[in-house]
Structure 1
C-alpha cells in the first residue's frame, strides 16, 4: 500500500566477550522472527551485508555518522498450512433484517470452550445491533431474536468467532442504475491499528466501482483482471483504536474500535449483475494482508416469497367471500 512504510530501521549495540575479541570479525544475529498484532507469522531470510547505514550525529551537529556495519533482513508475511485466520466477515442486507454473523470458531476455538459451547453448531442469526456488542454479551439478544423469528437455537449455543477484527459487509441499496454497500470494521483487541488497509475481491461488481465516501478506495487491476478493491482510511483518520471499557465498566460491555464507510457502484459497466443473489457480496476479504474468514451462507431475499404469499392470501380471501355469498 505504501512502500515508504514497509521497512524498519533500528540500531543494536553488541559487546564482544572472550574468546571472540577480534574487532574485525562481525557476526550479525541469526534466525530473525517478527510477531505482528494481526499477522503473527513472518518468514525472515538470513542477514545480508549491505553498505553501512548513515544516521544523524548523536551530538546534534548537522552531519551524519556512518555505522560500522549494516545488514538487511527481509521478512514476508506467511500463511502456514492449517493456520486459523485472524479476522472474519459478517453479511447483512437491506432486504433481510437478520445478520449472518462470523462463522463459529472462524479464528479458532480454545480447547476449554468445548464444554460450555458447541464448536460445530452453525452461528445463530443476530439482530443488527448485536454487532456492537462483544460475543459474550450477545447470547440473550440472539435467543430473543430467535424467539421473535420463531427459530430454534442449538443447545449448547455455538462458540464465538474468536477473531481480533471483524468486518460487516451490508448491502445498503439496490436500484435500476446502481447499488451501494456499507463497510464497518470492528477492532476487538486492545491493540490499535495505525495505517491499516483492507481489500475486497468481487468477481462481478468491481468494474462498477464508483466511490468510497469515508475511506480512500480504488479498483486494482492485476494481470488484466479487475476484481479487487483496495481501501484505507483518509489521511489523518487512518487509525482504528483498540477495544475500550464502556461508560460504566461495571455494567456496560466493552466498546470496540470501529470505522465505517459507504461504497457506491454503478450497473452501467456490469450488465446482468444480481446483487441480492450474491454478486453484491465479496468472495474474499483481506485486512492488513490477512485473509478473513467469510460466512458460509448469504442473507436471503424473501421479497418474492412474501409477495407470493400475499397474492395467495388475497386470492383465498376473495374465494371464501364468493363462496359465502353463494
Structure 2
C-alpha cells in the first residue's frame, strides 16, 4: 500500500504542477478555497479568475481551485497509472516483488542515541577481573563518563545487569546493591546479593575508609569529561561467587542498564577487550588485569524525557521585541486543571508553600512556557570591530539547585570570541577545522551553583566577539545561536520567523512551486481513498 501511495502522490504532483503553470483552468465554475496552512479545512468561495491567489479568512496565502471535473480527471489519471503498474507486476521476478514489498513497508522506528555536538560521547563501563577466588573472581568495575558536557547529577547513577549463570555477590566495596534477594540456600556465610538481576548504587560521601576504594563514594555523581576530568569516573569492587574461575569458564553478564539518574541511556553488550594495565606507584613496573570487558552506553534525550527541560528567549538592542520561549514548551500545566502543578511567584508565604508541598515532584514557577530553565540571549551592543552579547540563565524550579551546571552554545562567531566575563569557556571541536561550539560553565565558588527559583535563581555573563567582515551580519537572525544545550539537554529555540528583525527588514515568506498544491493533494488523496 505504501508503494501505491507513492505512485499516486507522484502522479498528482506532476499533474497539478503541469495544470497550474499551463493555465488550464477553463472549467472553473465553483471553487473551493483551500487554506495553505490548514489543509483539512475547506471553504467555498466564488472565483471566476484563473489560478488566482486571493485573500481569505484563513491565515496566510490561499488558493482558489476547482475540484469538480478537475479532480475527477486527476483521479482518472492516477487510477490509470496504478492500473498500468498492476498489469506490469506479474512480469517482475519474485526477488523484485520481494524488494518492492520491503521498500513499501519499511519504516524508520529506532531512536538513535546520537549527539551532533558530541558524536563520540558515551559512558563506558570497564569490568576488570583482578584476582581469582575458589568459586569465582574479584573485579573492579569503573564507570567512565566520556561525554564532553553531559554529567550525571544527584541522586547519581544506578547500574544493573543480569547474570549469565547462577552467580552471587559475596561482598562489595565502594558500592552496594539495592536488594539482597533470596539467599535462603546459604546456611553459613550469607552473600551480599543473590538476585539474578542485581542493581548497584554508589556509596555516599563519609563512608568508612574500610569500605572504600579509589574513585568511589560520591553519591553516584560523575562530572563531564571536559568540565572536570578528574571527577569523570566512579568505581566499586565486587567479589563474585558461583562463577567461572578462569578466562575460559567466566561468563559475561548481559542486559546492562544505566540510569543516571533516570532513563535515557542504552547499553550495548559486554565485549572482551585487552586487559587493563596498571602502573605501580614508583612507575617502574606494570601489572595487568586477568580479564577485562567493556560495556558502552549512549544517551538519547528522546528516551530520557517526554517533554523538554529548557527553552531559549531572544532580544536585541535594535528591536524592542522580546521573543519569549514558545508557549507550553515544557508543558501546559496550570492550577485550574492541575492543582499544585506550578506555583505563582506572588503566592503569599511562598517558602512555606514550597516546604509543605510533596518533595518527590518538581515544583516549577507558573510561566507561559513551564520550563524549569530558560536561557536568554540578548544582543547588547554593536561596536566598529566587535559586538557584545549578554547571556542569562534563569532557574524556575523551586526544588532544584543545579550544581556544576554547564551550557553549550553553537554559533559561527565563536571562532572569534575575544573575551568572556564571569563564566569559564572551553571550545568544543568535534569536527576538524570547525570551531563554532563553546561550552560555558560557572567559576568555582562564585557562580558554579545555579540556585533554586527566586531572586538568586539566575547566573549571567557577557561575551565579546570580534567581527569577521566576510560573515558578520545582523540580518536574518545571524546574531542568534543555532542551538543551546543546558546540562546536556537540547533547549527549545523560538521559530526563526519570530526572531527580532532589523528595522529596515522584514521576514519574507518563500513559496516553492509545489507548496500551494500540498492541501489540494491531501484533499484529492482523501477523495481517492473513499472511492
TM-score normalized by the length of structure 1: 0.59
For 2:401 and 2:456, locate their aligned partners in 1 and report how far apart those are by CA, in whole Å.
10
Asked if 1:265 corresponds to 2:465, the answer is yes
Q: Distance in 2 between matches of 1:187 and 1:14?
A: 43
Q: Retained in 2: the 8 A contact 1:188–1:242?
A: no
Which of 224, 234, 249 does residue 9 from structure 1 map onto?
A: 234
Q: Which residue of 2 aligns with 1:45?
A: 268
Out of 463, 481, 487, the residue aligned to residue 282 of structure 1 is 481
* Residue 295, structure 1, aligned to residue 494, structure 2: yes
Q: Which runs of 5+ in 1 are unaligned?
A: 55-65, 117-133, 139-157, 245-253, 306-326
Distance 2:428 2:260 in 1: 26
> What's the C-alpha RMSD, in Å, of the aligned pairs?
4.4
Aligned with 2:316 (options 93, 97, 101): 93
Give 1:233 shift.
Answer: 2.3
* 3-state DSSP of counterpart to 2:311: strand
Distance change >3 Å, CA 76–CA 96, structure 1 → 2: same
1:32 aligns with 2:256: yes
Q: Per-residue deviation at 1:288?
A: 2.5
Greater relative contact order, per chain length (Cα 8 Å cut-off, separation 6+): 1
Cα gap change, 1:32 to 1:272, in 2 (>3 Å): closer
Q: Is the 8 A contact 2:313 2:374 kept in 1?
A: yes
- Once the two structures are superposed, residues 250-309 of structure 1 have per-residue CA deviations (whole angstroms, 9 ceiling, x without a partner) of xxxx44632211000122x2346222641211111122322211012223445899xxxx
How big is each residue's C-alpha offset from its partner over 1:222-258, in whole Å with a ceiling of 9 and x where there is no partner?
A: 23233223322234446223415xxxxxxxxx44632
- Give the one of 296, 301, 308 matched to 1:79: 301
Structure 1 Cα separation of the partners of residues 276 and 428 of structure 2: 37
Q: Distance in 2 between matches of 1:227 and 1:86?
A: 24
1:179 pairs, out of 371, 387, 410, with 387
Q: Which residue of 1 aligns with 2:142?
A: none
Aligned equivalents of 1:281, 1:255: Cα separation in 2: 27
Asked if 2 retains the 8 angstrom alpha-carbon contact of 1:95 and 1:303, the reply is no
The 5 A counterparts of 1:197-276 are 197-203=406-412, 205-221=413-429, 222-237=431-446, 239-243=448-452, 254-255=454-455, 257-267=457-467, 269-271=468-470, 273-275=472-474
Tell me: CA distance 1:187–1:5, structure 2 relative to 1, closer, same or farther (3 Å).
Answer: farther
Aligned-partner Cα distance in 2 for 1:15–1:229: 44
1:174·1:275 contact (CA, 8 Å) conserved in 2?
no
1:188–1:256 contact (8 Å) kept in structure 2: no
Is the CA contact (8 Å cut-off) linking 1:240 and 1:258 kept in structure 2?
Answer: no
Match of 2:329 among 106, 112, 126: 106
Q: Is the 8 A contact 2:408 2:437 kept in 1?
A: yes
Pairwise CA distance, 1:26: 6.2
Q: CA 1:166/1:281 → structure 2, altered by over 3 Å: closer, same or farther?
A: same
8 Å CA contact retained: 2:450, 2:459: no
Distance change >3 Å, CA 27–CA 21, structure 1 → 2? closer
- Cα deviation code 1:189-243 (max 9, x no counterpart): 433333333221223x334321111112255442323322332223444622341
TM-score by structure 2 length? Answer: 0.39
